[in-house]
Amino acid sequence: MIQEASVTGLIRTILIIVGVLVFLRFLGRLMVAKRTMDAENKRRKAEKAFDKERKEKLKNFGKVSISDRPSSSDDEEYVDYEEVN
């Protein structure tokens, strides 16, 4: 069976191609928007963690903490500082 080209078939094919291109462009914009939103959320999360850490450090600023000596298996003397003559 031989089919002949018609004007309506040509217009239909062109509309299908244009429709696919419009859909792909729309899909691309959605993907860019999602990527931008993910980057923004990641930045906000990092900024929030930074602010939390900063507040914690400011809260403990100037306080002295004493930590335990590390346990050693040998009979070595633990020295946490050295004198300079």
Instruction: Decide if 77 is inside a domain.
Output: no
Cβ-proximal residues to 69 (8 Å cutoff; 6+ apart), any chain: 78, 80
Overall pTM surpassing 0.75 (yes/no): no
Domain that holds residue 31: 27-58
Query: What is the C-alpha separation between 58 and 60, in angstroms, rounded?
Result: 5
78 in Cβ contact with 70 (< 8 Å): yes
**Looking at residue 78, what is its pLDDT?**
62
Token digits of residue 44: 């906000």
Instruction: Decide if 51 is inside a domain.
Output: yes
Buried b (16+ CB within 10 A) or exposed e, 29-65: eeeeeeeeeeeeeeeeeeeeeeeeeeeeeeeeeeeee
80 in Cβ contact with 71 (< 8 Å): no
Q: How many domains does the chain have?
A: 1
pLDDT tens-digit readout, 28-57: 999 999 999 999 999 999 999 999 999 988
Instruction: Decide if 38 is inside a domain.
Output: yes
Instruction: Decide if 16 is inside a domain.
Output: no
Instruction: Decide if 76 is inside a domain.
Output: no
Instruction: Decide if 46 is inside a domain.
Output: yes
**Looking at residue 62, what is its pLDDT?**
81
Instruction: Decide if 35 is inside a domain.
Output: yes
**Looking at residue 69, what is its pLDDT?**
64
pLDDT tens-digit readout, 72-84: 555 566 666 766 7
Instruction: Decide if 36 is inside a domain.
Output: yes
Task: With cut-offs at 50, 70 and 90, classify the pLDDT of residue 17.
Answer: very high
